[in-house]
Homo-oligomer: A and B are copies of this chain.
Amino acid sequence: MAIKYKEIADRLEREIREGTFDQTKKLPTEEELIKKFEVSRNTIRKAVTQLVNRGYIYQVQGSGMFLREESVTDYINLGSLRGLTKDLTSKTIETKILSLHVVEADELTAKGLRCEGGTKLYYVKRLRIVDEEPFSIEISYFKKDVVPYLNEDIASNSIYSYLIDHLKLNIGFADKVINCEKIDEESAELLHIDPFDPALIIENTVCLTNGTIFELSKSIFHFQKAKILNRINFK
């Protein structure tokens, strides 16, 4: 990647995570960052905006740029792409493939994916296990013309790392709908909870940068183990 502001943002993110600024809880001034990275002010400001949007810092006019307090516990991060592995860093995560094959879109799925019924899709159902205990069930449909190949080995790790790093997909944006339901019997058994216990649900519609919907997914979380964190800026 040759894009300066992204490289600077990623570098600063790493430094923040490593605790480089923990003494002062403050970032260097724009002026100092301009000198350090030898770029124009706008480029620094664009990099910094990334950090603001990622929830790491906040800016105070006339005063400086400050670290936001760390989110202590292990939360699911709505804004990140790379899923549980990146969110729950202090945990051991395993993935059990419950099902993986090519199917033809039924009417409902086709409607969600804005494609014809019968379109070829990958259907993946996985059980995520965190610290030896069942954590969530993830059911996904991928358009096969966008994701031409998938296997158990890939699906056992991060599918998104594969999509981004190997298939070079340009993932653009997503709609996420969160709600809460009484769980069904089959899922209850998989998650080791009682039937009619609640479940936290995230339904996900993911698009490429050109607007094409390529994935539909539904994640069912263990209601006692999953918490979602969302950091928001108003500007």
Chain A residues packing against B (C-beta within 8 Å): 42, 53, 55, 58, 60-61, 63, 66, 68, 71, 75, 78-79, 81, 171-182, 197-200, 207, 209-211, 221, 223, 226-235
**In the assembled complex, which residues on chain B have CB atoms less than 8 Å from the CB atom of A173?**
55, 58, 68, 231-234
Query: How many angstroms from the CA of A209 to the CA of B230 in the assembled complex?
Result: 17
| Contact between chains at A228 and B178 (CB < 8 Å) | yes
| Contact between chains at A209 and B81 (CB < 8 Å) | no
| Contact between chains at A198 and B223 (CB < 8 Å) | yes
| Contact between chains at B234 and A172 (CB < 8 Å) | yes
Q: How far is the CB of A225 from chain B (nearest CB, A)?
A: 9
A contact patch SS: strand
| Contact between chains at A228 and B177 (CB < 8 Å) | yes
| Contact between chains at B78 and A230 (CB < 8 Å) | yes
**In the assembled complex, which residues on chain B have CB atoms less than 8 Å from the CB atom of A78?**
78, 230, 232
Query: How many angstroms from the CA of A58 to the CA of B66 in the assembled complex?
Result: 30
| Contact between chains at A58 and B177 (CB < 8 Å) | no
- Some 17 contacts from A to B, beta carbons below 8 A apart, are A55-B173, A58-B207, A60-B210, A75-B177, A81-B234, A175-B231, A177-B227, A178-B178, A178-B227, A179-B223, A179-B226, A180-B198, A180-B199, A180-B200, A181-B198, A182-B223, A197-B198
**In the assembled complex, which residues on chain B have CB atoms less than 8 Å from the CB atom of A42?**
42
